[in-house]
Amino acid sequence: MTNLKVGIYCRLSEEDKNKQFETDDSGSIQNQKSMLIQYALEQGWEIYRIYSDDDYTGADRNRPEFKKLLSDAEHRNIDIVLCKAQSRFTRELELVEKYIHGLFPIWGVRFVSIVDNADTANKGNKKSRQINGLVNEWYLEDMSENIKSVLKNRRENGLHIGAFALYGYKKDPEQKGHLIVDEEAAEIVREVFTLFSRGYGKTAIARMLNDRGIPNPTEYKRLHGLRYQQPKKKQSTLWKYFAISNMLCNEIYIGNMVQGKYGSVSYKTKQNRPRPKDQWYVVEGTHEPIIDRELWDKVQALIAERAKPFVTGEIGLFARKARCVNCGYTMRSNKLADGRRYLYCSNRHVSKDACEGSFISVARLEQAVIGEINRLSGEYLDKDELEEKVEFHNHLTEQKRRLEKEITAYQKKAGEYARCIRELYLDKVKSIISEQEYMEFSRDFSAEKERFEKLVMEAEIQLAGIAEKMQTGDNRRQLIEQYTNLEKLDRETVDKLIDHISVGKRIPGTRNVPIEIHWNF
C-alpha cells in the first residue's frame, strides 16, 4: 500500500523576538514543525511538503502558503493536512465548513490537528470541530474589537499608528508613535508651499521639481530605504498634480496628527471605506511642524479662492472625447481671455520627457469633425445607398438587442443580491455574523438590489418605446438626414457619433493639427 502523503501546515500571527533576520522562521514555527514532523513519522506518513506562514493572522485568506496547501489538496497531491491546532489552519467558522467539512472530503483529504484532537477520519468529533471553529470565530471578533479599542485610544492621544510616515517625516526610533522631521524631504515640502503662496500652480510646481530630477515621495522613500506602500503596478517616479494638491491640504505638516480617514468594513476583510470628516481623529501639536501657521493660512486662503464652483451645468463639446495621441491622456479644456476655448494635454506640463503635448482650439476641432462628417455623407449621392451602408450606433435593432442583454444582466444581479440577503440572514441565525454586521451588510445588499431592479424597470420602459417605433417603421432615413449637411455640432451629436478623437501636435511650419476620429458606427 502506498504511504499516505501529508502536508504539514504551520502558522504564527506575531513576529517572534528571537528572529535574527527577517527571512528566519520564528521559534514558535520551528517548534510547530518539530512536533508535526515527529507525529507524521510516528504515523508512518510520507511528508510531501511543509507549508509555513509566519506573521499572518488566522483570518487572512490570502496567506501564500495556505493557498498553496489548498491547491495541492485540490490536485490530490496530498492525502492528509496536519496542523498543531485547528486555529492554525483557520479561525473562521466559514472556512472550517467550506474546507474541513466540505471540500476536503470531496477531494479525499483528511484533516488532522494534534492539540485539539480534530480528525475528519473520526466522524464522532465533527461537532467538536464545529465548536472549535465557533470559539475561534468569537476569538477573532473579540480580538478585532480589542484592537479597534486600542487603536482608537492611540489615535485620540495623537500617536501615529500608520505603517508609513508621511513624506517629510520619519518614525522616531526612540519614541513609538512619534514623528520626527526628515529634513531632506522637508525642504521640498517647504518649497512646494512657498511656490504655491507666490502664485505658482500645482502642475507648474510638479514640472519644476521634475525638471530638477527631484524624486516623488514614493521614489524618495525607496531610494532612502524607508518603508513605503508598494504600488500594485509600476508607477512613474515623476511628481503629479494630485501629489502637490494632497500635500497642500495635509494638516500633519503644521504639527497636527490626522488619522482615521478610512475605516475597515469588517474584521473578515481588509477592505476600507472613506469616513466622514467629522469622524477623523485630529490632535493638535503632536510633533514638530514643517510649515508655519502663517504660510499654511495663506496657502489655504489661496486654495479656497481658486476653487471656483461649477455652476454653468454645461458639459464641454468634446469633454472626455479628445485624447493626446502621444501619451493617451484625456485632454483638458481651458479658456483664453477673449473667451475662446482650447484643448491641451496636461501631461506635457508635468515634465519635459512626459509627453510632446497636443494642443488644438475647440473651434478648429469642431470644424474638422463637421468637415469629416459631411465628407463621409457626401460620398453617397444616393440617399438609398447611404441608408443601406451606414449603420449608426443607436440603430433601433442594435438598441433593442443591447437593452435585452442589459435587462438580463440586471435581473441576474438583483437575484444575486436577493440570495445574498437570504444567506446573510442564515449567517446571523447561526451567529456567524453579529446583529450589527447583519444590519450593515443587509442595508448595503438591499440598496444594490433595489438599484438593479430600478435599472430593469427603466430599461424595460426604453424597450417598450423602441418596440413602438419599430412598429411604425425603421427610422434610419431620419437619422441619416439629421447628420448630413451639418453646420454646427452639439454635445448630443458628438456622443452619438464619436467614441473618441486622437489629437496630435501641430505640424511645424503649418497650422495643421493631425486628428483621427474613432466613430461609433
Query: What digits encode the pLDDT tens for the residues 85-98?
Result: 888 888 777 788 78
The CB-side HSE value for 319 (13 A sphere, CA atoms) comes to 8
Per the domain annotation, does 388 fall within a domain?
Answer: no
Q: What is the pLDDT of residues 205-222, one digit of tens each?
A: 888 898 888 999 988 888
187 within domain boundaries: yes
Q: Output 484-487 pairs: Cβ under 8 A, ≥24 positions apart.
A: 484/374, 484/377, 485/374, 485/377, 486/370, 486/373, 486/374, 487/370
100 and 34 in a single domain? The answer is: yes
Q: How far apart are CA 159 and CA 110, in angstroms?
A: 47
145 and 161 fall within a common domain: no
Residues 222 and 291 in one domain: yes
Residue 124's contacts (CB-CB under 8 Å, 6 or more residues apart) are none
Do 186 and 302 fall into the same domain?
yes
Cell numbers for 201, please give them.
500652480
Region 131-136: what's the mean pLDDT?
57
Residues 128 and 214 in one domain: no
pTM here is 0.41
CATH number of the domain at 142, please: 3.40.50.1390
Q: CA 100 to CA 102: how far, in whole Å?
A: 6
Chain segment 308-353, per-residue pLDDT in tens: 443 334 557 888 788 888 777 778 888 777 778 888 887 766 666 6
User: Does one domain contain both 169 and 275?
Assistant: yes
Comparing 166-170, 249-253, 482-486, the range with the smallest average pLDDT is 482-486
Q: How many domains in the chain?
A: 3
The answer to whether residues 267 and 139 touch, using CB atoms and an 8 Å cutoff, is no
Contact residues for 267 (Cβ-Cβ < 8 A; gap 6+) = 59, 140, 141, 143, 144
**φ and ψ at residue 503, rounded to 5 degrees:** -115, 130
Is residue 496 one of the residues assigned to a domain?
no
In a domain, 339, yes or no: no
Residues whose CB is less than 8 angstroms from the CB of residue 318 and which lie 6 or more positions away in sequence, other chains included = 331, 333, 343, 362, 365, 494, 501
Please tell me whether residues 163 and 299 are part of one structural domain.
yes
Residues 71 and 195 in one domain: no
Closest to 182 measured CA to CA, from 214, 217, 211, 206: 217
Asked whether residue 126 falls in the same domain as residue 174, the answer is no
Residue-wise pLDDT for 452-473, tens only, equals 888 888 788 878 777 766 655 4
Boundary residue ending a domain (245, 271, 306): 306
Question: For residue 469, what are the domain limits?
Answer: 393-482
Domain boundary among 109, 126, 151: 151
